Homo-oligomer: A and B are copies of this chain.
């Protein structure tokens, strides 16, 4: 019966699409701690931040009071090319699991960037263009963010310089070619084109790079090139703001059919997807209107929420960025070499870190072979080949659905399916060949990263 009532895919009408982003910080009693100048340890001012970021984005970064921010028409029009994203009822998965739970997923992979990253990329490119800039710089690891930004820049006719973590650049030549299709200039990082790159290469010849190092190079290039600014695909509060489109659409789709979720699950690397997905629901909780169980899922090999410290830390390896208060493994932390895919950042969005600290959200760490088992199971049943990152959320959604099978509870589970795994087949191949391994860092392994966390401001 329900099968007829609720379609397999709930698509909002174009007229039902959100026209404002939601800023969860406005409803937080304990605001996320401000970014600090690493020299003065004073909060970063608008004037300091605008050296690095576009003016309008700095305003958004600093705004923790306005709950709703208009989405400019140009961005809305771009959103209409690939959004609304469907909210899918996983009927087939439910049947296969024989669970009384009802499972929904918000699928953000129906665009060429292959993930939700495009939601913020287009916003950041728009504001850069509006400011009359010539181009932007960024870093990319697994390649989703770089691809998304390339697409966005191509649309607005902006130059785009991407520093791609060297190991990814070499292992994922196709990601690089997609970026080139959109006209981006892609440089393997660390490179000799920046001072910080040269320093890192001198200290660690033969290094295959890291996200923190690529960030340092991208920031240096932005501040030293006239008409350029730096943009970032996750962690920052402005990014969570743009990604709130995910949660707003999800909420509208659920409301349309009178569905109230019990559990909302998302994978968490820097926090852009999870933050975007849960924001409007968290807003209801913060305003005392509703209760939900939120679960952040992270890799056991990069456990910033479950095993990190809540502290002010550097956002990048080169220590050129502001200090952010967040759950962190230390800016020198690099996940072990066997770790596949993204979710490898040492820190976590300040917004999510504060919500977690305040007990408003849970976190779970999962191991990667269990994640790929869930990924393959999901692909075979629901058709979509998921990204390794997204599969962390699938793992926990399946686990929760199986718990419901035991208890008989008819919980409604919503999870974020952030993207597709078409450029991650090397990892899938390792999994098929039985060559994939798990790795949980020891306390001693983690201590090295913690030692790099700077002295905390008073």
Contact = CB atoms under 8 A, between A and B. Distances in A.
Contact of A177 (B114, B173, B428): B428
Contacts of A173: 425, 429
A183 interface: yes
Interface residues of A, number: 45
B428 A181 contact: yes
A180 B432 contact: yes
Interface in A354-403: 376, 379-385
Interface string A412-423: 000000001011
A46 interface: no
Given A8-B81, A423-B422, A177 B429 contact: yes
A13 B9 CA distance: 9
A182 interface: yes
Contact of A92 (B81, B110, B114): B81
A379 B181 contact: yes
Contact of A425 (B9, B14, B91, B174): B174
A252 interface: no
A72 interface: no
Given A112-B383, A181-B432, A383-B155, A422 B422 contact: yes
A362 to B, nearest CB: 30
A452 interface: no
Query: DSSP majority for the A interface?
Result: helix
A151 interface: yes
Interface string A116-154: 000000000000000000000000000000000001001
Contacts of A8: 14, 77, 80-81
A11 interface: yes
Nearest to A424: B174
A111 interface: yes
A7 interface: yes
A68 interface: no
B376 A9 contact: no
Contacts of A428: 177-178, 180-181
Interface in A421-439: 422-423, 425-426, 428-429, 432
A82 interface: yes
Given A8-B14, A385-B181, A110 B110 contact: yes
Contact of A178 (B7, B81, B183, B385): B385
Contact of A14 (B7, B14, B92, B111): B7
Contacts of A385: 112, 178, 181
Contacts of A155: 92, 380-381, 383
A432 B174 CA distance: 12
Among A88, A112, A155, A429, the one with the most B-chain Cβ atoms within 10 Å of its Cβ is A112
A453 B149 CA distance: 52
Nearest to A6: B14
A82 B112 CA distance: 16
B182 A382 contact: no
Contact of A382 (B14, B81, B381, B432): B81
Given A181-B376, A181-B432, A432-B181, A80 B7 contact: yes
Nearest to A8: B80
A170 to B, nearest CB: 14
26 contacts: A8-B81, A9-B81, A81-B88, A81-B382, A82-B383, A92-B155, A110-B110, A112-B383, A112-B384, A112-B420, A112-B422, A151-B383, A155-B383, A173-B429, A174-B174, A174-B425, A177-B432, A178-B385, A178-B425, A180-B428, A180-B429, A181-B376, A181-B380, A181-B428, A182-B380, A422-B423
Given A8-B80, A78-B383, A178-B425, 7 more contacts: A151-B383, A154-B380, A174-B174, A174-B422, A177-B429, A181-B379, A181-B385
Interface of A: 7-9, 11, 13-14, 77-78, 80-82, 88, 91-92, 110-112, 114, 151, 154-155, 173-174, 177-178, 180-183, 376, 379-385, 420, 422-423, 425-426, 428-429, 432
Give the 7 A-B CB pairs with smallest separation, nearest first: A174-B425, A8-B80, A7-B14, A177-B425, A154-B380, A422-B422, A112-B385
